[in-house]
Amino acid sequence: MEKQNLPNSTLILILGILSIIGCCCYGVIGLILAIITIVLAKKATETYLVSPELYSGYQNVKTGKILAYIGLALSVIYILLIIGMLVFYGGMEGLQEMQQEMLEQYGEGQY
């Protein structure tokens, strides 16, 4: 009997990779993709553990799950950094004031 590919195994791997890439989009896209990947990987793991002799492609599921956890961690760190910067610099107004000060400080030295 030929083994069939585990449902969504390739999709889980691709979403795991995209969750790491998506953390650069303010962390939100990476967070969403990582959560979706973890849920799909849990379902695929349960399916595989019921009858492992029927399915192949479990390595893709394990790899995708690991990548999703990495993407989740990176996204959370990125979101926390953004929140910290907004709190530290007082929101967008504080960031704009800081940019103006830097432009004035470095702009005078060049001319």
Domain count, the chain: 1
- Between CA 15 and CA 59 the distance in angstroms is 15
What is the value of pTM for the model shown? 0.78
Contact 12, 41 (CB under 8 A): yes
Residue 45 to residues 31, 36, 53, 59: CA-CA distances in angstroms?
A: 21, 14, 13, 10
Mean pLDDT of the chain: 89
Residues spanned by the domain of 77: 4-110
Per-residue pLDDT tens for 27-44? Answer: 899 999 999 999 999 999
The whole-number pLDDT of residue 26 equals 84
Contact 15, 64 (CB under 8 A): yes
Angle of the 9-22 helix axis to the 58-89 helix axis, nearest 10:
20
Cα torsion angle, 79, 80, 86, 89, sign: negative
Percent of the chain with pLDDT over 70: 91
**What letter represents residue 90's amino acid?**
G
The whole-number pLDDT of residue 88 equals 78
